[in-house]
Chain A
Amino acid sequence: MLLYIVRRVLYTLPIIFGVMLLTFILFFTVASPENIAKRQLGKNPTPELVQNWLHNHGYDKPQLLNLPFDAKYDPKQPWYYSQFTSHMQATLLFQFGISDTTGEDIGTRLAQGALPSALITLPAFVATLLITVSLSLGIAFYRGSYLDWGGTFICIVLMSAPIMGYIIAGQWLLGLVLRYFPVFGFASGFDSLRFVLLPVLIGVIVALGDSVRFYRTIMLDEIGQDYTRTARAKGLSEQIVLFKHVLKNALIPILTKVVADLPLLILGSLLLENFFGIPGLGNLTIVAITELDFSLLRALVFLGSILYIIGLLLTDISYTLVDPRVRLD
């Protein structure tokens, strides 16, 4: 068991390296620092201005290695003095440096954003899980009836509307017309509850359709298994079969879907945070987009990937812990 976990952890190391390489290719070769500088500095900047900007943000290094044939060769520095090594070092040590546009430290900005994001996504996550599992159980209980058909259809309808539609409609109806919730803003401490409720509600509704449908298929899968038939054959009532036997087994695939998303919760939701003015990491992503802040986005992409890799790792480990049928080789 321990050996499996160690091997699984070691297996993620090349993946992390691959992500680092991919972010390097994206942010340093596809969009070269010169291009970024030109986009930042506006129309037709002078070469000195570009050079200055590059120097100030630490982009005036050779691309891969500090060797004489490179245009930016610096004889005073060692051979490994390059964009590539500094990028790798920065990402490995989680030192993301300063922002391209505002000059703030990216690490502190990320740390500030994590809590407000989690305040929205964590309640939404828990509520969605409870609601969807019980709803899908109910739908599976009445499988084949009009209730099942209607529920599935409502799920498809819920899945089909764009998330902006829900947010705008929710803000308009509950915020502006009925005035139950404030439409925009955020406060710290206990007061934040007022601002959090509506985004959480919308987050639950957005996730509802997809999850209920997915869980329903899992439940129906389990209902078709032999052990369900055995349970029925020994005279158990349909309720006990469903809520005790089926639910326990169905939780295994549900677990695999859910655990991977756990670490991502601090990333928040882009649109929800942007619409409601919540200063989380999702909103920070939008800020990075609108301000063309490449260094900030680079840090966010790397952070998100690391979190997701951890999530996938946790999924695998929890799967082996929960399901004894999984082989460990």
Chain B
Amino acid sequence: MQMLWDQFSDNALFINGLTLLVAAFFGTIILFLSKQEFMQEAWRRLRQNTSTMICLGIIGVYVAIAFADSVVIPIKDGVAIRNYTLIDLAFKNSPEEEGYSAPFAKQTYKLRGAKPVVGVHLLGTNVLGKDVLRETLKASRTAIIVGGLTCMIAIPIGLVLGILAGFFGGWVDDAVQYTYSVVYSIPEILLLVALLLVLGPGLPQLCLALGAATWVNLCRQIRAETIKHRDRDYVLAARSLGVPTTQIIFRHILPNVMHIVVIMFTLRFSSLILSESILSYIGIGVGVDTASWGQMINGARTELAREPIVWWVFLSASGALFVLVLAFNVFGDAVRDALDPKLRTR
């Protein structure tokens, strides 16, 4: 497994294929959702609100950056062929400096022995002389992946178990309830820390741990909603007509609980990104070779005590994080208002 991964992880075709596959996966889900009349109506509601659309635009920019940093182009670099992402290519003309330099500065940040800065750095450079803007953009890919991959792990588990427990009841319900009660009774932060310490740092491990903490809440809500729909007349009518159980679940139950998934997804995304940054800050999130806002803040923490202070690393990392989370919070609220029938009457 490890050898297979080592062989493929450098292959440009493989990386681009994987990126397209993930994009196609989310594209199909959005297409599936947009076919439903309920979702179309919700979209009409969302579109009327300007601030919601601005937030969606901001999220779109971040996703586009993440996509641009995932597509690689193999370029001959001396003798070896190296993979460059589109972000790497955009920053090809701004070389690494020797240590800190402020935004647009002409000299590196040392009281004695300051070296001249070669390129132009919009947000300055960090302790290793790397461009901060580039790191910030690369970290937004990590954030989007953490949110997306965690949902890809948590949503199927929560959806399947929740529908099964709610629809069939009996011992299935007992087993599912018992499982999520056990996971739920471990405080979330301790569960995350324990899982990550056991699994080791890394992007997939982080998503797995966050997924293990996320599915519980989704499963509870899906189960409750399924129980509500199970006893409705239309399900009874379908049963009396002899519709097989699987078809009842897929045609009648699933579309009627999908709005909970969408609400959970958009509301949870922001807290996932925040959790990622906190865990990476502690040092058990993504590994050291993956860019992350949490790690940038960790590196910048001690530099604020310097004289004169190094503020740009901290501000750009937390600023980028803040804007994305804010956009997701506002957008998630609007989605919940548009999709929740209980709130709509008010």
A: residues with CB less than 8 A from B are 14-15, 18-19, 21-23, 26-27, 30-31, 156-157, 159-165, 168, 172, 176, 224, 264, 267, 270-271, 285-286, 288-290, 292, 294, 297-298, 300-301, 304-305, 307-309, 312
Contact = CB atoms under 8 A, between A and B. Distances in A.
Interface in B272-316: 274, 277-278, 281-284, 293-294, 297-298, 301, 304-305, 314
17 contacts: A15-B181, A18-B178, A27-B198, A159-B325, A161-B321, A162-B321, A162-B325, A164-B278, A164-B318, A264-B187, A271-B282, A294-B197, A300-B190, A301-B193, A305-B187, A308-B185, A308-B186
Contact of A270 (B189, B297, B301): B189
Contacts of A286: 282
Given A15-B185, A19-B182, A156-B329, A305 B190 contact: yes
Contacts of B187: 264, 267, 304-305, 307-308
Nearest to B183: A22
Contacts of B199: 30-31
Contacts, number: 121
Interface in B79-124: none
Contacts of B181: 15, 18
Nearest to A305: B186
B127 to A, nearest CB: 17
Chain A interface secondary structure, helix, strand, loop or mixed?
A: helix
B193 A297 contact: yes
Given A26-B198, A164-B318, A224-B346, A312 B185 contact: yes
A301 B190 contact: yes
A156 B190 contact: no
A26 B194 contact: yes
B195 interface: yes
Contact of B297 (A22, A30, A162, A297): A162
Contacts of B183: 22
B111 to A, nearest CB: 19
Given A26-B195, A294-B197, A309 B185 contact: yes
B198 A304 contact: no
B325 A292 contact: no
Contact of A160 (B282, B284, B298, B322): B322
B204 to A, nearest CB: 15
Contacts of A156: 326, 329-330, 333
Contacts of B330: 156
Contacts of B274: 162-163
Interface in B58-81: none
Chain B interface secondary structure, helix, strand, loop or mixed?
A: helix
The CB with the most chain B CB atoms within 10 A, among A18, A286, A300, is that of: A18
Interface in B199-218: 199
Interface string B166-191: 00000000000011011101110111
A162 B277 contact: yes
A22 B191 CA distance: 10
A31 B196 CA distance: 11
B270 interface: yes
Contact of B318 (A15, A159, A165, A292): A165
Contact of A19 (B186, B293, B321): B186
A297 B197 contact: yes
A15 B182 contact: yes
A161 B329 CA distance: 11
A324 B301 CA distance: 51
Contacts of B270: 159-160
A51 B187 CA distance: 34
Contacts of B193: 285, 289, 297, 301
